[in-house]
Structure formats: structure tokens, C-alpha cells
Amino acid sequence: MRDQEISANHAAWLRREVAGWQAEGLVDDVGAASILARYPVGQRASVVRLISVLGAAFVGVGLISLVASNIDEMSPSLRFGGIAFGWLAAVIVGELLARRDDADAQRGVDDRPSLAVGSARLVAVAAYGATIFQAAQSLQVPAYSSLLVGCWAAGALAYAYACRGAGPLVVGVATLVGWYAWAVGERSGTAAAVVAALLAAAVVTTAVAGVHDTGRLRPFAAPWSYAGAALALIGLFVAAIPQVGEDGLNLAPPHIGGFALAVVFAAGVASLGGTQVRREAVAALAILGAGLLLLSWTPADVDDDALSGGELTRALFATAIYLAAAVWFAVVGAVRDRPQLTNLATAALVVFVTMQSFGVFAPLLSGAALFLVLGIVLLAVGVLADRGRRRIVEEVA
């Protein structure tokens, strides 16, 4: 049997388990050492993976920058032809490399997808975006059209699901979230409506992660889950700003219909999924509810020079909600072995507490004193959040 590289968290868990088996007499020292040797920590592979992902991402960003630089020595048709050729070539190279991987797996050499396949697919999905932008530039589609990003997102997701590639999925989810926020911002009259839409999108993406909890597409759950957490934490962050709901929610019928669909979809996934999926869907719905409450709560007794009673109560409530949400996502990250989720929640909490502290101390202090107090708060929160994160990871492991 081949060695299999595992994450540092998994390795720590395995060491504890093996020590327990040794204590119970289930395995001897030689057996324990053999088991541990079969599961090396994949640090070196992670570095190589990071380098090749960065390389592919740089090529992708370079292609889009090439479009933006509008090289006038070449005709628009030639530029479009060149970029489209690059996109199709990357797709074909990705498939040819994947076929080689399939052949290796059949011969029992290695059953994991190679880094070259992942890189080619990442370049292909970025080159597809560049092709859309080049076509739009060549045909003089008006600037700042959100439809272009929406089409890139849909195409990236179609490609990701067809080739089952994690890189295209990450690009697809990121562009989908970007397009959604942009499109809602274009059409909504108020900031509160945009925030509410982001929180509803968090419910949907979390539910989609739940759909992928079992089966062959299980690795796709993590990117959807990160998107859900990021949308929820950004939405709650903005909802916590006292004046954000001043102009009212002003939800249009499509918004209300969208919210209803999000709730029904999440409820459906929760009822069909396992315990953890149900918990995550319910938590996303609870965050949506808390966010809507904050958005419709504008303190009446606003004072520009000092914090009023109403503002303080709202700020404390918002802080409690944000703290609970961040801790929840940190726990999900630990339970699911998604350390990036735990890190995202920790960073979000530190930024949030700093922003809230600024709101509390800015009217009371000024100049150097304000920076000193905020610096101390930031340091304290950073240390506490990091200790909390470590405790959660240890407890869950």
C-alpha cells in the first residue's frame, strides 16, 4: 500500500488515536510506528501545490490584464482569436493531462489528480473570463456591465462540474458571489436591501455546500461553505453599522421571492441532510433572521457627539450576534477539518471588534489616545481570538 499524505490536524488526531490503541494493547510499538509512517504530513506537497496554483493564477490575471491593456498593434479580431485560442488550448491540454492521470490510476501508479491538470484547468477558466472581456471590448459592450461577470461565473461553474475541478469551482463561486453583489447593488435602492440579499445568498451557498456533503462531489462542499461563511460575516458586519437601515429595507417583490426560495431550499436541504448539514443550514437561517432584525433596527436617539442608549444597546446586540456567528464558523471549520474557515472566522472577528471599538472610543478619545486604546484592543482581541481558535481545534480534534 502507498503512503498517503494527510493534513497536520489529521496527523495530530492520528497520533493521539494510535497512542490510545497502544495503551489498550491493540497495537505494539512496531505496528504503531508502521501506521504513523504510512500517513506523512503533506507539507512539501502543499508548498509545491501552492506554487503551481499561484503560477496558474498569475497566468490567469496576466491574461485579463492583457485584455485590459488593449494592445492597439493588433486588430480587435486578432486579439479575440488569440485569447479564445488560449482558452480552448488550456481546456484541451487539461483533458489530455487528465487522460494520462486516468491511465496512471488504472495501472495503479497514482490515483490522485496531478498538479499539472489542476493548473491547466485553472488557466482554462481564467482564460474563459479573458475571452468574454476581450469579446466585449472588441464589440464595444458598455463599461461596467455585470452581465459579463455573471456569464463568466456560469461558464466557470459549468466547466467545474464537468471536469470536477476544484480550481474552476473556486473561480466560479468567487465570480458568482461577486456578480450577485454587483447585480443586487445595481438594482437595489438601499444599502439595507443589498446586505439582506448577501445574507440570503449566504443561506443558499451554505445549503449548496450541504447538498455536496455526500457522494462523488464531496470535495466541492468546502468552496461553497467558505462562500457562505464569507457572505454571512460580511453581511452581518455591514448590518451592524447603526445607520445602514436608515432608508429602510424597501424590498422589491423579486427580493422577497428570492428570500422565500432561499429559505425553502435551505429547509429542504436541512430536512434531507445529516445532523451537521441540518445545524449549518439552521445557523445560516438564524444569521439571516438576526441580520434582518439589525437592518430594521435604527436607534431613534442618535447623537453625533456621544453614544446614545439606543445606539449602545444595538451595538452590544450586534457584537453578541457577530461573536456567536464567528465562533460558529470557527467550530464548523474545526469539525469539518477546514482550517481556512476557522482562520476566516478568526480574522473577521478581529476586524469586527476593532471597528466596533472605534465606534465606541472615537467620540470619547482623540489623536494619540485613540490610537493607543485601539492598538491595545486590537492586540488583546488578536491574542484572545487566536487562543480561542486553538482551543476549538483541540477540543474538536
Partner 1 sequence: MRWPQRSVAVGMAVAVQAVLLVVAVAPRLSARLMGDEYLVRVAPVDPIDPFRGAYVRLQYPDLLSDDAAGRREDERVFIPLVRDGGLWRGGGLLADRPEDGPYLACRYDGGLRCGIESLFLSQTEARSLERDLASGGGVARLRVDGRGHAAVVAVEPG
**CB of 50 vs partner 1, minimal distance in Å:** 25
Least distance from C-beta 316 to partner 1, angstroms?
Answer: 37
Of the two residues 73 and 305, which places its CB atom closer to partner 1 in the complex? 73
Nearest Cα residue to 310 out of 370, 243, 373: 243
Q: Which residues bind partner 1 (CB under 8 A)?
A: 64, 67-72, 88, 91, 94-95, 98-99, 102, 128, 131-133, 135-137, 139-144, 147-148, 151, 154-155, 158-159, 161-164, 186-187, 189
- Of the pair 29, 72, the CB lying nearest partner 1 is at 72
Shortest spacing between CB 151 and partner 1, in angstroms: 4
* Spatial separation of the C-alpha atoms in residues 52 and 86, rounded to whole Å: 18
Taking the complex as a whole, the smallest distance from the CB of residue 91 to partner 1 amounts, in Å, to 6
Decide whether 15 or 164 has the Cβ nearer to partner 1: 164
Nearer to partner 1, 40 or 185 (CB): 185
Looking at beta carbons only, is 47 or 141 nearer to partner 1? 141
Least Å from the CB of residue 176 to partner 1: 13
| All residues at 6 or more sequence positions from 52 whose CB lies less than 8 Å from its CB, including other chains | 115, 116, 118, 119
Least Å from the CB of residue 208 to partner 1: 18
Q: Measured between alpha carbons, how far is 144 from 142 in angstroms, rounded to an integer?
A: 7
CB of 130 to partner 1, least distance (A): 9
How far is it, in rounded angstroms, from Cα 102 to Cα 199?
A: 41
- Other beta carbons within 10 angstroms of residue 255's beta carbon come to 18
In the complex, least distance from residue 166 CB atom to partner 1, rounded to whole angstroms: 14
